[in-house]
Each structure stands twice: as structure tokens, then as C-alpha cells.
Chain A
Amino acid sequence: MIEDDVLATHRQEIRRGTIVLACLLILRHPGYGYALLETLESCGFAVDANTLYPLLRRLEKQGLLTAEWNTDESRPRKYYVTSPDGAELADILSRDWDELHTAFTKLRDDE
């Protein structure tokens, strides 16, 4: 019987590294803070708002996202979109992910 805390920690650990890749992929189409949060949640990536918003800023500072204020709608919103550097990183991370997937499958099948 696994304790809830232990289970939650391990599940969180395995998801933690995936948020950046998920954001880079989702933001190939422009998106803003709260909508991105909802999209991530519906895809199964649970992330806190107070982690996501600073993360978006950090990615923008690192040049992986470009941001633009959109004043068309009722509320001004800051839209992020994946930059070319960001797309490149997304490719690298996706390849890493695939390699890991192959490795895990092989490990499981070797049983």
C-alpha cells in the first residue's frame, strides 16, 4: 500500500520536467497566461498558477518565447508565442522524450 504523500511526490517529480516542453508545444499558437493554465490542466499537466506565470517570464527572458500585448479584446492580455529558439529547444526536448520512451519500453519488455 503506497502512502498518498509518497505517491504524490513521485508523480509530481515525473511531471515537473514536462511543463516547459508542454508550454513550448502549446504556444506554437499564441496563448496567454490563464488560458494556457486551463489548457495544461485539460491535457493532464497540473501546474500551479504561481509557478506558471513566473515560468513564462523566465522563458521569455531566455528568448524561448516572444510576448506581445494584445489590446483588441475587452481586457489587455499578454500573448506568448514560441520563438525559433524555443521551437528548436522543443525539438531537442521532444527527441529526448522519445529516446526515454524507447528506453523505458525496452526496460519493461525485457522483463
Chain B
Amino acid sequence: MTTLTDRYVAEALRGIPEGQRRDIELELRSSIADAVEVRLRTGEDESRAEVEALAALGDPARLAAEYAGRPLHLIGPALYLSYTRLLKTLLTTAVPLVFLGASVVGFARGGPAGRALWEATGTALTVAMHVAFWVTLVFAAVQRAPSMRDRRPARWDPATLPELPARRIDRTSLIGGTSVATVLICLLVLVQLYGPVPVISPGLWESGWLYLAVVFAAVRIGFDLVGYYVGWGVPQAVAHAVMGLAFVVLGVWVTAGGALLNDAFLEAMGWPEGVVTWVVVIVVVLMAVNDSINGFVRARRRKA
């Protein structure tokens, strides 16, 4: 046989286990020869006949995959939904927290606030890409396990249906939460810059640490968006609570250390510093605890 068939057979045998190679090769060559012979009998030109016969057989890689029983997809229908659900859960919980953590670390190290945010974004994106890559790799590997060959999707249980509204937080909550966070931040900035007496101590303001508050607000809004567009369950509630905890820890540390509030402001208020500190600490803790509990309540609504 001429080299075209040889090339075809070589491609079609790729990845075929040793024990079957000889048998498949002989049969394939025989079938191609038969096809060519039939074409020659009908008067086709010899080189054309071979080309046409091979073209009719199609892409040898497909043939090899069929012979070896390899799937021609990365992740098939049986595993796909589990894959997307896991990916969504991991990305909506881990990535916001990583962003938060990286921001805190970046600010703590000092230096310009902009750079800390930039690096935090970079870290969050890297983590997101790693999560996506490794989850995909694991599922693709599982898809190729021998027992997955003819597996039908697992039986779906109606008990896992989420409660209505289908979006775990409704639009009013989303808009409300986002607005409150935005308004508070704007108020803070406005009072600081244009108010009679700045509330936050100038040292803290200038060092850019307050950008961290903006980061917290942004992550909080991010969680709300996740709850609206993607879905909200216990994993997301846990991540949300972790964020609340970080907020409390940082807020209390900064306030108790006397670094948060402006001395001029305290004088203007006329309250003793100890009292104001306690008030702020209690407010911060209550806010965070209320928020976290809300998160779990929302997640609970999912169960029947």
C-alpha cells in the first residue's frame, strides 16, 4: 500500500493499547483496501480512489477515540452540573475572602494604598484561575475513569430544590444592602473632608488605611451580588461570616488602640474617650454579628 494509507493507519492507531494494535491495524488496512478496490472497479483513478476512501473514513483521530473508547469531550453531561456547582461555590466563597485577606496584608505592609489594592486584585485573580484550573482538571480526570464510560447522571432529588424566591436574596435586599454600604462610605468621606470636625484621625486617613473600609464595603457588595446572581448557601454564609469576623477584629483593634477617632472630634463631642471607644466597638460588633446571622438565615431558607 502507498504511504497515504500508512499515514492514516498510524494516526488511527494512536493511543490504542498494545494488545489490540495488530488486530485493528490488519482489519483497518483490509477495509481500506476493500473500499479502494470497489472504487477502482467503478473506474475511478487509482490515486483518487485512495484519497476518497480515506476521506470517507473521516478523521483518524475520531476513529482512534472510538476504538479506544475515549470520550471526545472534556467533561460530559453526567458530571457537568456537579462541576459547575462546585466551581460556583468555590469561586464565590474563596475569591472574595482572598481579596480581603490580601488587601489587609497589603495595607499592613505599608506603602501606597493603590498598590496594595492592585496586588490584592492580582492575588484574587490568580487564586480564581487556580481554582478553575484544578477543579476542571480533577473533573476531566474523573470523566476518563473506566467506570464513567456509560454512566447515566445520578438520580435528582426534589428535596434539594431551593425555596422561592429562586434568587436567594431578592432585589430589594440587594438594592438596600448596596445602597446602605455606599451611602455610609460616602457619608464618611464627606464628613471627613467637608465636615466641621473630621471624625477619623488624620493620621489614619492619610495613611490610606481607610481604603480598607472601602475594600470591606466592596466585598460586602460583592457578596450581595453573589447572592442575587449566583445563589446563596451555607458555604457562602460561612465565607460572609469570616468577612464579618475580620471586620470586627480589625475594627476593634484600630478603635481600641485609639487610632481610629480624631482627638479634635472627641473633644468636640465632649464624651470621655473610653465611652466613645466602647460605643464604636459595640456598634461594629453588633453590625457584623447581625450581618452574619442574616447570611445564615438566608442560607437556611434553602432547606424545606
Q: Which of A35, A50, A75, A76 contacts B58 (CB 8 A)?
A: A50
Report chain A residues within 8 Å CB of B34.
33-35, 75
> Main secondary structure on chain B at its contact with chain A?
helix
Chain B's nearest CB lies how many Å from the CB of A23? 15
> How far, in angstroms, from A69 to B26 measured CA to CA in the complex?
10
Q: How large is the interface on A (under 10, 10 to 19, 20 to 34, 35 or more residues)?
A: 10 to 19
Residue A49 interfacial (CB < 8 Å) = yes
How far apart are the CA atoms of A77 and B30 in the complex, in Å? 7
Bound complex: CA A52 to CA B30 (Å):
14
Q: Would A33 and B27 count as touching, CB distance under 8 A?
A: yes
Q: Which residues of A contact B23 (CB under 8 A)?
A: 78
Question: Is B129 positioned at the interface, with any CB of A under 8 Å from its CB?
Answer: no
Q: How far is the CA of A20 from the CA of B227 in the complex (A)?
A: 49
Max chain A Cβ within 10 angstroms of own Cβ: one of B24, B34, B38, B58:
B34
Q: What range describes how many residues of B lie at the interface?
A: 20 to 34
Asked if residues B26 and A78 are in contact (CB atoms below 8 Å), the reply is yes
Asked if B62 and A50 sit within 8 Å, CB to CB, the answer is yes
Contact A34 B67 (CB under 8 A): no
Judge whether A3 is part of the interface by a CB distance below 8 angstroms: no
Interface centre among A38, A53, A58, A77 (most CB of B within 10 A): A53
- Residues of chain A with a CB closer than 8 A to B33's CB: 75
B24 → A minimal CB distance (Å): 8
User: Footprint of B on A, CB under 8 Å?
Assistant: 32-35, 38, 48-51, 53-54, 57-58, 69, 75-78
